[in-house]
Structure 1
Amino acid sequence: MADHLDLLLGVVLVAGPVFGTSPCSFDGVIALFRFCNFTQIPPIPNSTETLLLSFNYITTVTATSFPFLQQLQLLELGTQYTPLTIGKEAFRNLPNLKILDLGKSHVDFLHPDAFQGLSRLFELRLFACGLSDVVLRDGYFRNLSALTRLDLSMNKISSLSLHSSFQELNSLQSIDFSFNQILTVCEDELKPLQGKVFSWFSLKANNLYIRVLVDWEKCMNPFRSMQLDTLDVSGNGWTAIITENFCNAIWGSKVSSLILDHHTMGSGFGFQNIKDPDENTFAGLAQSSVARLDLSHGFIFSLKSLVFQKLKNLKVLNLSYNKINTIAVNAFYGLDSLQILNVSYNLLGELYNSNFYGLPGVVYIDLRMNHIGIIQRETFTFLAKLQTLDLRDNALNSIDFIPSIPTIFLGGNKLVTLANIGFTANFIQLAENKLENLAELYFLLQIPDLQILILNQNRLSSCKPQNLPSRNLSLQQLYLGENMLQLAWETGSCWDIFKGLFNLQVLYLNNNYLNFLPPGVFSDLIALRGLSLHSNRLTILSPNSLPANLEVLDISRNQLLSPDPGLFTSLRFLDITHNKFICECELSAFVHWLNQTNVTIHGSPTEIYCMYPDSFVGVSLYNVSTVGCDIEEVLKNLRFSLFLLFTVTLILFLMTILILTKFRGVCFSCYNTVWRLVFKDQAQGTESDMYKYDAYFCFSSKDFEWVQNALLKHLDTQYCDQNRFNLCFEERDFVPGENHITNIQAAVWSSRKTVCLVSRHFLRDGWCLEAFSYAQSKCLSDLNSVLIMVVVGSLSQYQLMKHKSIRGFVQKQQYLRWPEDLQDVGWFLDKLSQHILKKERGQKEDGHIPLQTITTIS
């Protein structure tokens, strides 16, 4: 089945320590003394009910080792690191002991009367204690009238010659002799057990009957007059002949469940020296009323005809993990009562119409992990009571044989299409196939009684817009994880795939590469309670994008940046771990909600962390402070006087800013007038030096009229005596007839500064760009910032960066921008004058940020 939604149905398992955290502790009822390096029994309080003393170095237990503990019911003395000696009546001071565990302690000496006085002992665990046949033969278990379970597995017992006292153990129901060295079991040895009813009797993994020749006429029936609910004789490596002899020997003994797994019956693949079971192998079980037979983990290659004909009462047959390649006609004949058939993990390649004859009552057939590629159409149609068919992990590319049954498992095959298949099931599993077209999903959603549909790990990625949406009112769970729905949805098609699914309760859309959710895609899912969107690429969830009644949401391992907490108000359980949260003020509402919500948040706080900015990477959202993000909260904490002062200051500041902004031109003119009046004797002028011109103004000839009116008339001395600069520009100062490049070079090198007025015309004028390059060359030669760049008009950074010479300047130097508001022109001209007059220090400036301080916005 598909993965389960970790957080669905509100089941939260809280596992806590049973005995506390300390290895040596006592809470008044339970004494936990494991791994305490004790060499003898420590003092035990009278109120103790459970005493755990395993993993210590206790060597001896005698009648005086324990104080009188009337309340003690469970004693664990197993797994001592030293050999253990148990003396006479060692546990007599524990009259109400019910469970005694000595397992995995090497018992060096066990007194025959060691267990005397334990009249209420219910379970005795003596597994892996190194015990021999003596413990059975010499009456060690006499007077244990309440003993129900006896575990003697993994010892060194080689014979089951039971002491007559076993006949007195009237409560004994379970006995385990597995993993010993018992080579034969005959009637005389188990005679003290005759007349008893056992729920469990195990002789597993003893090499029973395979290393000795058994005279079955003398051995006879070891389980005569017994009734066994489960008899485990698995792991003994029985061949078909040994199995036949054993079944014949126990003729008439009632065995409800017979476990024969890990056998050697069958020829296997490619061998003929060991025969497969035939009609005689299990004939001896005809009178045993066997209801469950386990023949798994063997080498059966062929199921022969009539092999199970005598097992009239058989209800469960397990043939998994064999080498079954062929099923003969009537192989299952006689199994009229069989309900469950497990033939998984075999070598079946084809199934034919006759393979399952003789199974009128079968309800479940498991055919997983074979190599089935072909199945005839009528193979399952006559199985009138069949409810579940499991064909997972085979090689099917067509399923036209599917019968009308409620439950179908078809995952792990090679299905590409489902065309013309008459499904009537209410549970369909089609995971791990090769379905690509969403038309298959539309088709499946038309099945009237379908309740659960699993399509995980397919290739659903394409869509045909002509598909009609479903109105399936029975579907409750839909699994579409690990597909590629993003490829279909990004084309704008199949956004109605969930239309009409009014009763859907669980939806998996994990691992579908989703970077958006189509608008209204969940609008019809009014009953949806659990939604899995984990491991996608979602960066944002739009308002109303989730179903209104959603209770469980898994949106972990996406790329959510600043989720809106209003989306999660209806939830009871949320997994939002491992996203990429941006820990800035935009996230403050979510952080506040995260710390206050009653919604159960899955995962530890360390799994909900920041990814930006760098200083917060890995910091848990639970540790992020929102102080300073909420203005109202900050204002509430201010004193009234401080608030009043702040308000007055703010009003005065805003009024000042408003006046300066609105009348900044007038203010600047007044400032200049005052400056001239106060410092009229210190008027700034240009100093005589080696340069012929103060500045060379480079601009496009198409801009001459504007430049003349906007700049030259206010700066050049020849236009007005009050101006301060001797300027050079092409229209007046270039020598007529002279080479234009020569004129440019002369203008650049004979001027202290070069002012390039970069406009749209300038960028299209090659001579202007050439002059710009020469001015840059002078900058590099003199190591001075002699080039002043003024951007005129609405030129963007991108338009400037398209020209290589200008791009290099913009990236490394400051530049000016002509103001958009006329009242800023005076201020601009003053700033430009200062840059022309500014003396350089003979080195480059390390700045590349545009000079925004002289950029004005109207």
Structure 2
Amino acid sequence: MGYGFYECFLSDDGETLDFICNSAETKPMCPEFNRSQVKILKYQCDHTVGTTNFFRNVINTLPNLSTVNVSCLQSSFFSIPMNVKFAKIEILKASRNQLTEIPSGIFDQMPNIIEIDFSWNKFTKILLKHLTGADHLTKIDVMHNNIGYLDAAAFGAVKNLEVLDLSYNKLESIEDNVFKENDKLKLLNLRHNKLLSFNFRIFSPSATDIEVYLPSRSIERLDIGCIQSVCHFKGFQDGDNFDVIKTFKAEGNKFSNFSILFEKLGRSLETLILSRCMFETITHNLLEKFTSLTTIMMTNANISSIEANAFSYQTRLVLLDLSYNKLTDVDSTLFSRKFHDLETLYLEGNQLQRIDNITSANLPKLQSIFVTKNRFSCNYLVKYVVQWKKTIQFGTRQSDVNVVNVRGIDCSYADVSEKSCETETPHSLECPSTLPYIIIITFLNIVLSVIVATAIYWRRKSFKRTVGGLIKTDAGIQTMDSFESAVNMLNNSNNDSFYEEIELKSIPSEGYQTLSNDVLTLESRPLPTPPTTLDKTHKPNHHTSPLDYQYAQVCKR
């Protein structure tokens, strides 16, 4: 129905009005209609006509208008009269144009808008200024643009956002916490971007039940872990296939069936981190698909058992972390395939008592093994550590020096007889700490030494008084009888603390000399032959201490 410059088509219910330009006429003409009844207006004009007059002369005359569609204009310019507010407009559709950004001032003139559609345009980025003032906005559709950058603060201006469609753009990365202000977000579509990585921690901890559509065929690193006990990941979508994925993280995710997830992951997976998940048992076929794995981390995952050959397909492993689980035994088949490349092994915080199957023969490249906080006995650890012929780092712990440990691995004594580490431990090992015992024993030794030294001192002083009167002269020993008296005194003594040695002081060169163990002679003058032997029942005592005399030995056989 032609009406001059404009052609208007009104729906049967009178709520939708199609407004089409016609350049053949010079005057705008439309049929008479109830303007207050129109809620949806679709504007289709040549891109040279513009939108300023349209908003001022047409939209402003429709008091209950809620939806404006200015799509398919192929226009690179979109403007709204700055002095006119369209308070009742809630939906603006401007797809399939040539726009390079969201028009400035749009949310000032349409303060109650809740949905915008700028798909099929030429946006390259979304900045904070583009969304400022969009307090009521709940849905943004910008698919099929050239967006390669999202300002980390941009979506902080749209706290009521629920749906965001960014599909078919050129995003390669998304900054962490970019949606931290969007507690109400329900759907994020990222299909057909160039994302290399995605982290579910970009969302607000307060957001729940978020449905995410990912560009599965480009992602190499995916993190579906939880943040502050909130898990945003609920499952993959139909059609998801992560063929080129290298790293997969699911820390803290309580997903009930990881086998279903693993079906979506490609065989190229190299790093698998499943810490704080719930497994109980690692089945023999759980990881058989991932033969390229070099890192497996399943710490604090409630694992109590590992089926035979569970890791038999992971012959390229460099790091394996099974710490802080409930393992009581390491099955002999666990390392039966000889992990030739394994360098680091974490088994700390389990309930292990023996790890005999972990040997240098099976793990020729092992450099570090962390096995603290298990249930090893000290004697077992000593013997186990010794068997490693090469230098290897055992798990160390920053703890009190009094913690009983071997090479930094804490242990316990099964019984008193087992406390023999120091006799079995090589010099390079660290024996269990015995500091408290050493302090006590040292103190007792000091006291005992003082007592013994005091006794010896008075004994020696008494001996000097007995013998000294006979020999302490510059002329040497005066009579043979006096020397014999001294020797007889030693022989006849019942005190085992008597000395083996007698030191004679100030004996001139012509005095007595020791010529043999048993015979004493005098070089300058004849003397009676001294006794050749001493009492054989006399026991040597090693607490001897020199007297203040020149040395002369009396040997006690």
* TM-score of the superposed pair, with normalisation by structure 2: 0.44
* TM-score of the superposed pair, with normalisation by structure 1: 0.31
More relative contact order in 1 or in 2 (CA 8 Å, sep 6+)? 2
